[in-house]
Amino acid sequence: MNGHNRNTHVISGIPCTGYDNHMDRADEEFPGIGAPAQRALAHAGYTRLEQLDGVSESDLLELHGMGPTGTDILSDLLNARGMSLEA
């Protein structure tokens, strides 16, 4: 783990009880999506896949960190669950 303890603040090294890493949840909710795209989704308030149902692909592409590969993966994830992005 490159010497980093997940339960320790990255800069100060102070133990963080109840440490909640949103990126772990994003990995589970948006599997296959790169970290920059996951951060873009989180910053825009998207924390669950179903929140993206009906969202336009062009709106997602405007998010800093989201690219066509990310929207393709999201589209596939949504389609597998009977949902879709707006074209």
Contacts of 53 (CB under 8 A, 6+ apart): 78, 83, 84, 85
Which letter does DSSP use for residue 51 in this model? G
Which letter does DSSP use for residue 35 in this model? H
pLDDT tier at 78 (50, 70, 90 boundaries)?
very high
Contacts of 14 (CB under 8 A, 6+ apart): 8
Q: pLDDT, tens digit, for every residue of 2-60?
A: 454 454 444 555 555 444 454 455 667 899 999 999 999 999 999 999 999 999 999 99
Structural domain spans, the chain:
1-87
Burial of residue 17, with CB atoms counted within 10 A of its CB: 0-12 exposed, 13-18 middle, 19 or more buried: exposed
Q: pLDDT, tens digit, for every residue of 59-75?
A: 999 999 999 999 999 99
Instruction: Provide the whole-model pTM.
Output: 0.70
